[in-house]
Amino acid sequence: MNQIEAVWEVPLGLASFIFSRLLRSTLTHLGRYYNPMNTQEVPQWQVVSDEFLERPIKLLWAMSRARWNLHALIAIAGPFTVNKSISIRVATIAAATPTWTAVFYTLGNFKTLANISSLSISGENEWETVTLPPGRYLVGLRHYHWADPLTLPEIQIDGQAALAAKPMAAPPDANRFYRSLIQRQGLIHQMLNGYVYPLLRYPLGLPKPFVRDVFLPVPNPETQFHYGALQKGEVLKIQLPDGLLDTHELFFSLYNRFCFPLDWYPLTSQDFVTERCDRKSVFIIRIHPKSRAVQPPDPETIQLQPMAAV
């Protein structure tokens, strides 16, 4: 069945991949000239939510850029006009979550230029400063295991106050809106990400770095990723090395073949079997260290076996 399916999956996937590159390029160029944030003078905090993704173009842009991180509460700050530096009050973030990442990226082409996290800083300073080339920037902040309520931090630009802190409610199920995104799936989303399933299921000798870069265009450098594709009727058997759960957090995310979220949860046992897939799906396992002193696991020790459900 696998080889028969590949006969149509691979060429359709190639067509989808070409379309996705063209669409991404188009969205990037349009964003440079028609992005409302380009003319926005007053920066603000926005939380990724159903309301944030309400406009179809925002959902399309998000799905063309990255794979949904379903385990983090994500907030975006900006835009900021920077001459030299962005400073963020990390003490406020630490009060809201023990694990976080802040990413600094350009407004025009959304290129990541720097990031800091709970693992990369000493934790002794109230503020942390990142030096950047002159330009327009956004700050993306990911919270894991967030408190409710929490406060989004104050930000300074070139040493001057630029954005005030913002208290907000943050219930544990704040990301439940991801479950309803699949109801908005249309033909353009299928064309955009139709290549993902065959890319992971039938890589046909493609270099692993190429597959990774295409599937995970903006990965967290502190996280180890494992991923693959499941056919309808399959389960994924996961076997972890001894002690890994003591030193790392593991997060499992399941998406349909067009990258709309289906389910997500932490992995808490050394041997685990997922539920039977009711459709073609793709998955990501994120392995994140609990402390900076921890070394990443040998990828070969993470055993993943797609198999037919019994």
Number of residues that this document lists for the chain: 310
Q: Which of 169, 97, 85 is nearest to 127 (CA)?
A: 85
Q: Can you give the pLDDT at residue 107?
A: 86
Assessment of whether the complete model's pTM goes beyond 0.95: no
Q: Looking up tokens 């890994």, which residue turns up?
A: 244
Residue 245 phi/psi, 5° resolution? -70, -15
Confidence of residue 44 (pLDDT cuts 50, 70, 90): very high
Q: Can you give the pLDDT at residue 29?
A: 75
Q: Can you give the pLDDT at residue 81?
A: 95
Indicate the average pLDDT of the chain: 94
Give bridge partners of residue 288 from the DSSP assignment: 249
How many helices (H) and strands (E) the chain has is answered by 7, 18
**Domains in the chain: ranges and CATH:** 35-168 (2.60.120), 210-308 (2.60.120.1030)
SS3 of residue 261 by DSSP? strand
Q: Six-digit token pair at 114?
A: 């720097």
Confidence of residue 219 (pLDDT cuts 50, 70, 90): confident
Q: Six-digit token pair at 222?
A: 């502190």
